[in-house]
């Protein structure tokens, strides 16, 4: 391409290029299940492909696009693949992918009301949908879309600290279980708490925060003259899908004037189904809840969300009033989301949530989540009936942990760890499925997170058979 100071393409060039991009995305959506979901490459291999100085001269746009399609987009894991069972899959959906494309195409600034009234309005509307789903007060409550669960947790903790401690948080203590996601401890350290201001409460045999131990820890800290600030409860741990006893935790928070934050980044989507919403009972009592629409609300990355009982808590925490923003302040009902969180310039995340829910209807989402929960239960039943497999943590909010442990072989714990590690390694490296291990009570176990609505029970059966074939090898 010739040097092009305006960074433009002609109308025709834009169309041809854009159609090709759409064709590429559609091809991916349509054929991803036939691809290899797992890709690893070393730094040296990647450097070999990509290392170069920033080119002074441009190239043909189609050559660059083809190169990226062939070399970059092939060297990625496919988190939306039906046999991608590990971590937390990102099933995504096409409507939302296109919505993101629109939001980027129009380069919508989603920071303030005056900058983009409709963008702010859609964020208010969709946050209200979520408040209602989670039985939070819709008028008084509020929230904000973030890049993901990590930023939502950080935003929650800054808000809790502002509300409960003001400026002096030297004596504050935060409680969480040993199953709590690492993003919480990362946020706590990022915002300047010391390590000794965190209590990691052990979990019971079902991976729930031990309530007795939690109470002991809070009582001791009070006796020591410290300030119990916040309990971070889990609503769907990443490891096992376990939900802490939210109703009991809310009682202790109320009694001790502590903030109740629920990390539902993994499990939040379960609220859409009848079973899931039962499992999440008590979540409506929280002061703040992290959810992660880019997980179980089937949105593409990046989209997290924080919900709070009272929207004023966010503005009281994050409002700064610099002179250069004075012309865009607006009135109180016209929310400036830059006053509700860390970011000033923000992409238009609400659009994908809005368009996908409008297009498919909430009922489709509800059915998808119910399907996922049932798929995990069916998988559990399958495993229980087999002589090869042992359930380690039963199907809980679409997560199940199990291991290879044939009844007739009497393998030692050490042998079991090794064999299950080998299964995971071989399956994942075969490229047919992504199935990695986790550690539960010191055992190496295989973990399936089944939140992809396009994963079938046959996919699961095929994967289990593949696992067994590697043992016999």
Ligand X SMILES: *Cc1c(COP(=O)(O)O)cnc(C)c1O
Among 108, 258, 265, 460, binds ligand X (CB under 6 A): 265
266 near ligand X, judged by CB under 6 A: yes
Among 150, 163, 240, 336, binds ligand X (CB under 6 A): 150
Name the minimum Å distance from CB 150 to ligand X: 3
Is 174 buried (19+), middle (13-18) or exposed (0-12) by CB count in 10 A? buried
Sheet containing strand 288-291, strands side by side: 142-146, 304-308, 288-291, 259-264, 227-234, 172-177, 198-201
Looking at the Cβ atoms of 115 and 435, the one nearer to ligand X is: 435
**What is the token pair recorded at 458?**
């046959």
Rounded Cα distance, 281 and 279, in Å = 6
CB 1 within 8 A of CB 61: yes
- SS3 category, 394: strand
Looking at the Cβ atoms of 232 and 464, the one nearer to ligand X is: 232
Name the minimum Å distance from CB 302 to ligand X: 7
- SS3 category, 449: strand
Name the minimum Å distance from CB 304 to ligand X: 5
- SS3 category, 426: helix
* Contacts of ligand X in 281-310 (CB under 6 A): 292, 304
Looking at the Cβ atoms of 263 and 380, the one nearer to ligand X is: 263
* Contacts of ligand X in 400-429 (CB under 6 A): none
CB 431 within 8 A of CB 466: no
Mask: binding to ligand X, 104-143, rule CB under 6 A, as x and -?
----------------------------------------
- SS3 category, 232: strand
Among 141, 148, 241, 282, binds ligand X (CB under 6 A): 148
Count of residues near ligand X by CB under 6 A: 12
Looking at the Cβ atoms of 85 and 404, the one nearer to ligand X is: 85
Looking at the Cβ atoms of 181 and 261, the one nearer to ligand X is: 181
* Contacts of ligand X in 51-90 (CB under 6 A): 88
Rounded Cα distance, 284 and 134, in Å = 6
240 near ligand X, judged by CB under 6 A: no
CB 415 within 8 A of CB 404: no
Give CA separation, 137 vs 51, 129, 210, 335, in Å: 53, 11, 29, 17
Residues whose CB is less than 8 angstroms from the CB of residue 167 and which lie 6 or more positions away in sequence, other chains included: none
Residues whose CB is less than 8 angstroms from the CB of residue 373 and which lie 6 or more positions away in sequence, other chains included: 270, 273, 275, 276, 395, 397, 398
Alpha helices by DSSP H, listed for 206-267, are 211-223, 246-256
229 near ligand X, judged by CB under 6 A: no
Give the 3-state secondary structure percentages of the chain, helix then strand then coil, rounded to 5.
50, 15, 40
From the list 6-14, 146-154, 276-284, 406-414, the region that binds ligand X by CB under 6 A is 146-154
Looking at the Cβ atoms of 221 and 292, the one nearer to ligand X is: 292
Looking at the Cβ atoms of 238 and 405, the one nearer to ligand X is: 238
238 near ligand X, judged by CB under 6 A: yes
Name the minimum Å distance from CB 320 to ligand X: 25
Task: Give the DSSP letter of residue 144.
Answer: E
Rounded Cα distance, 423 and 415, in Å = 12
Name the minimum Å distance from CB 287 to ligand X: 17
Sign of CA dihedral 186, 187, 188, 192: positive
Name the minimum Å distance from CB 416 to ligand X: 27
Looking at the Cβ atoms of 84 and 113, the one nearer to ligand X is: 84
Name the minimum Å distance from CB 141 to ligand X: 21
Among 81, 83, 161, 181, binds ligand X (CB under 6 A): 181
Among 91, 149, 269, 293, binds ligand X (CB under 6 A): 149
241 near ligand X, judged by CB under 6 A: no
Name the minimum Å distance from CB 99 to ligand X: 19
From the list 28-36, 49-57, 144-152, 354-362, the region that binds ligand X by CB under 6 A is 144-152
Residue 153's CB is within 10 A of a number of other CB atoms, namely 28
From the list 42-50, 106-114, 258-266, 415-423, the region that binds ligand X by CB under 6 A is 258-266
- Residues near ligand X (CB under 6 A): 88, 148-150, 181, 183, 238, 263, 265-266, 292, 304
């Amino acid at each position: 391409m010739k040097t092009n100071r305006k960074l433009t393409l002609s109308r025709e060039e834009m169309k041809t290029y854009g159609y090709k991009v759409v064709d590429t995305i559609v091809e991916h959506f349509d054929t991803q299940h036939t691809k290899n979901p797992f890709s690893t490459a070393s730094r040296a291999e990647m450097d070999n492909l990509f290392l170069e100085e920033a080119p002074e001269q441009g190239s043909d746009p189609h050559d660059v696009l083809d190169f990226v399609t062939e070399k970059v987009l092939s060297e990625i894991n496919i988190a939306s693949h039906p046999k991608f069972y590990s971590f937390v899959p990102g099933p995504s959906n096409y409507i939302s992918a296109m919505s993101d494309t629109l939001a980027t195409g129009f380069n919508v600034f989603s920071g303030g009301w005056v900058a983009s009234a409709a963008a702010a309005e859609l964020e208010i509307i969709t946050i209200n949908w979520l408040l209602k789903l989670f039985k939070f007060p819709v008028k008084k409550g509020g929230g904000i879309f973030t890049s993901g669960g990590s930023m939502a947790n950080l935003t929650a903790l800054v808000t809790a600290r502002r509300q409960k401690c003001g400026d002096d948080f030297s004596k504050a203590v935060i409680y969480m279980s040993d199953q709590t996601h690492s993003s919480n401890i990362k946020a706590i350290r990022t915002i300047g708490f010391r390590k000794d201001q965190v209590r990691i409460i052990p979990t019971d045999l079902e991976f729930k925060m031990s309530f007795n131990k939690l109470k002991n820890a809070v009582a001791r800290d009070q006796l020591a003259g410290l300030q119990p600030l916040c309990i971070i409860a889990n609503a769907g741990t990443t490891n096992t899908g376990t939900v802490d006893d939210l109703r009991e935790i809310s009682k202790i928070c109320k009694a001790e004037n502590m903030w109740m934050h629920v990390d539902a980044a993994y499990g939040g989507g379960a609220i859409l189904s009848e079973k899931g919403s039962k499992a999440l009972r008590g979540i409506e009592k929280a002061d703040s809840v992290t959810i992660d629409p880019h997980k179980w609300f089937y949105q593409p990355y990046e989209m997290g969300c924080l919900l709070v009982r009272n929207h004023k808590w966010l503005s009281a925490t994050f409002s700064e009033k610099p002179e250069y923003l004075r012309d865009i302040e607006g009135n109180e009902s016209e929310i400036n989301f830059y006053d509700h969180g860390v970011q000033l310039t923000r992409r238009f995340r609400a659009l994908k949530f809005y368009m996908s829910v409008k297009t498919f209807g909430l009922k489709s989402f509800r059915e998808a989540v119910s399907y996922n929960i049932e798929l995990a239960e069916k998988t559990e039943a399958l495993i229980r009936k087999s002589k090869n497999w042992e359930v380690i943590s039963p199907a809980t909010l679409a997560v199940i942990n199990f291991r290879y442990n044939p009844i007739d072989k009497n393998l030692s714990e050490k042998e079991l760890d090794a064999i299950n590690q080998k299964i995971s390694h071989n399956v994942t490296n075969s490229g047919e499925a992504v199935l990695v291990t986790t550690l539960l009570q010191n055992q190496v176990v295989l973990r399936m997170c089944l939140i992809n609505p396009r994963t079938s029970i046959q996919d699961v059966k095929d994967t289990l058979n593949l696992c067994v074939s590697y043992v016999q090898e």
